[in-house]
Amino acid sequence: MDLSTALAALKDGTLTARDLAEACIAARMERPDARDNPYAAFSAGLLRAQADAADARRQAGQPLSDFDGIPLSLKDNYGTGTVCGGTWPVFAGSPRRLPPMWNQPGGVVGRLLAQGAVITGKTRMVEFAFSGLGANGHWGTPRNPWDRDHHRVPGGSSTGAPLSLTEGSALLALGTDTAGSVRIPAAWNGLHGYKSSRGHLATDGIVPLSPRLDTLGLLAMTADDLIQGYRLLTGTAIDPLADGGTIRIGRAPDVLWQDCSPGVVAAVEAALDRLNALFRPVGTVTVPELDEALALFRRGGLAGAEIYGFLSQELPAWLPSLDAYVGPRIRASADVLDYEARVAFLDRFANGVQALFHDVDILALPTVATTPPLLADLAEPSAYGRANLMALRNCCVANLGDMAAVTLPVGTDAVGCPVGLQLLAPRGADARLLAIARTAARHLAGDD
């Protein structure tokens, strides 16, 4: 069941919050393999307690919102505080529970709870969110469910978020996105994903990776569900797009289409060909200083220096135990000497990006250039580094350039894994981008 269907059923009384909770619990119990568990923490008892409280409010005619009783998962870097007498620990993908100060709810979680949303649990993630592949040496790496014969990574750093949706234990998944950590797992699992523009959604109450680049995001089964999730987070309802023919869609620069795995470009271009009949194509768009921004990202950008500084100051005891996938890269960022110059460049780059949207409404490109790699192929550090940079390449541009972004599933690649189409819009245009994405998704599905 998708989120939009569940909202309608709760409203007309054909479904209860407890019904939804039991369905989530059953879905979780049907996949007991610890290796593929989406969750770092999941409690059937706490899930039932929240659902029963929601049903009691509805029976009294006092639901907190339309979303009272809707089950959703949170990434393991979100604090929740105490809910219905219980709580979930925060590990942020590390092997040790973080101090209690990191389990205080921020503005977004506070709003979710005030609306009556039911938290199913805390989903697994890359340690301190510092990778786009989804591998974790402490907790293990769940398999991407699209390849039943080989252990491919599911994407990260919001690793368990898509798996909570595909197994049916949540109807909406919240993650964080610093360079693609929502969009990569969404694309590699055939889901819809949304990355907010910087500052659009509050990041307090969340363990940081890069405070200058961190954003919140959603993963959902459908584009309509992303719209509903946005309404839950902001209180803003998004009206249907009035006229797709007024939307100018540009093709991202060629560098973001190069070196893709077989089948990726073909799937995205086939979708764009169809969307060009709906929107107004304007050809390839030049993004000023894009090559320089990508080169800076390959040198570590801001995230490496910022997470090293955070851990050194706030969690120094965690530094020696960082797993082999992230530890060497974090420690290599300890001596970044040109941090202020990097900040200044990225401020200039983001301002230049905003200016290009005078001539185009959205940019289109593959969400991820590559097929989800086999976990066995990532054992050697240099191979891991190359795969990680390629997975992040097309997504990091939205964070470096302060854009809102969505990914839509548009087919499969040469090995049968999902491919995503990414749409980018200027900072603050989140609601309009989601309206455009919904129209695009319906057109691609033949529903318009």
Q: Which of 157, 158, 261, 333 is catalytic?
A: 157
Is 161 a member of any domain?
yes
CA distance 114 to 109: 8
Is 429 a member of any domain?
yes
Residue 123 and residue 264 in one domain: no
Q: Is the pLDDT of residue 34 over 90?
A: no
188 and 154 Cβ atoms separated by less than 8 Å: yes
pLDDT in tens, 226-270: 999 999 999 999 999 988 999 999 999 999 999 999 999 999 999
Residue 228 and residue 279 in one domain: no
* Full domain range(s) for residue 119: 3-234
Residue 85 and residue 157 in one domain: yes
Is 239 a member of any domain?
no
Q: Which of 75, 196, 197, 261 is catalytic?
A: 75
Residue 201 and residue 228 in one domain: yes
Residue 229 and residue 277 in one domain: no
**94 is a catalytic site residue:** no
Q: Which of 73, 94, 131, 181 is catalytic?
A: 181
**75 is a catalytic site residue:** yes
The predicted structure's pLDDT at residue 30: 75
Q: Is the pLDDT of residue 440 over 70?
A: yes
Residue 165 and residue 118 in one domain: yes
Strands (E) located in 319-430:
362-366, 404-412, 418-425
Residue 179 and residue 309 in one domain: no
CA distance 117 to 50: 8
Give the CATH number for residue 26. Answer: 3.90.1300.10
Residue 44 and residue 85 in one domain: yes
pLDDT in tens, 190-239: 999 999 999 999 999 999 999 999 999 999 999 999 999 999 999 999 99
Cis ω for the linkage preceding 157 (within 30 of 0): yes
Q: How many distinct structural domains can be found in the chain?
A: 2
Is the pTM higher than 0.75? The answer reads: yes
The predicted structure's pLDDT at residue 53: 98
Residue 218 and residue 250 in one domain: no
The predicted structure's pLDDT at residue 275: 97
126 and 326 Cβ atoms separated by less than 8 Å: yes
Is 240 a member of any domain?
no
